[in-house]
Amino acid sequence: MTINVLGVNHKSAPIDIREKLVFDKHSIPKALEDIKNIEGVNEVVLISTCNRTEIYTENDIDNSKIIKWLSANQNSVKDCEPFMYNYSEEKAIKHLFNVASGVDSMVIGENEILGQVKDAFKIADKNNCIKSSLKKLFEFSFSVAKQVRTKTDIGVAVLFDDRYSHNKYKSLFPLFWDHYKTIGKGQYLQSYLEQFWKSKK
């Protein structure tokens, strides 16, 4: 049996391609069930965010049947396939560790992705789509992510980016400083706003 990951992210594909492969939270359980029913697939976890869609499987085949399933269900995979990456075994495992720890994120060190990976794991577990192999792998990836964050300064880059952006805005538009707006959601925006309000005190 082999650990595989098939996916697209912000480095491999432009946003118009990534959007074609996004699964909303309501469609993920059905997608998991469909992939799990593909011959040779024993376990599956599906991560789908604005910056990446990744299908992790433990199976005894390559990902060709999963690609065929995507083609039948997304109606756009022919456009997307050139932008996909397909990793197995050690490379797939290393990729998951990089994703969970924020190393593979658009903003390196952001911690929202860890919560998204954990959510994907919980949904797969709730829908009986994981057993021992992916369960152990994902649980270990959470431990790796924690070690990366506690033993390195990876999160410092996020704070630096926050400070730089709002300080730049303040210097360029001082008259509008009290009318500053942000649009978004999640832990990254929360971190940004915390730094913003500190700077105004």
Tell me the pLDDT tens digit for each residue of 52-70: 999 999 988 778 889 888 8
pLDDT band with cut points at 50, 70 and 90 for residue 38:
very high
C-alpha 123, offset from chain centre = 14
Report the pLDDT value the prediction gives residue 169, as an integer from 0 to 100: 46
pLDDT range class, residue 103, cuts 50, 70, 90:
confident
The catalytic residues are 50
pLDDT score, position 187: 54
| pLDDT for residue 188 is more than 70 | no
More confident residue, 150 or 195: 150
Collapse the DSSP code of 85 into the 3-class scheme (helix H, G, I; strand E, B; otherwise coil) and give the result.
strand
Tokens 């049947």 appear where? 65
Asked if residue 159 has pLDDT above 80, the reply is: no
Read off the DSSP letter of residue 184: -
Whole-angstrom CA distances from 187 to 110, 162, 194 are: 8, 12, 10
The amino acid at residue 200 is: K
pLDDT for the residue 57: 96
> Is the CB of residue 120 less than 8 Å from the CB of residue 46?
yes
Run of H or E including 30: helix 28-36
Q: Which pLDDT score, from 0 to 100, does residue 110 have?
A: 75
DSSP output for 80-121: HGGG-EEEEHHHHHHHHHHHHTTTTSSSTT-SHHHHHHHHHH
pLDDT in tens, 161-176: 444 455 544 554 454 4
- CA–CA separation, 76 vs 106, rounded Å? 24
Q: Of 95, 86, 85, 102, give the one whose Cα is nearest residue 137.
A: 95
Q: pTM of the full predicted structure?
A: 0.77
For residues 76-95, average pLDDT: 88
Which pair of structure tokens corresponds to residue 144? 């790796």
Q: How does the average pLDDT of the chain come out, rounded?
A: 81
Q: Are 18 and 89 in contact (CB under 8 A)?
A: no
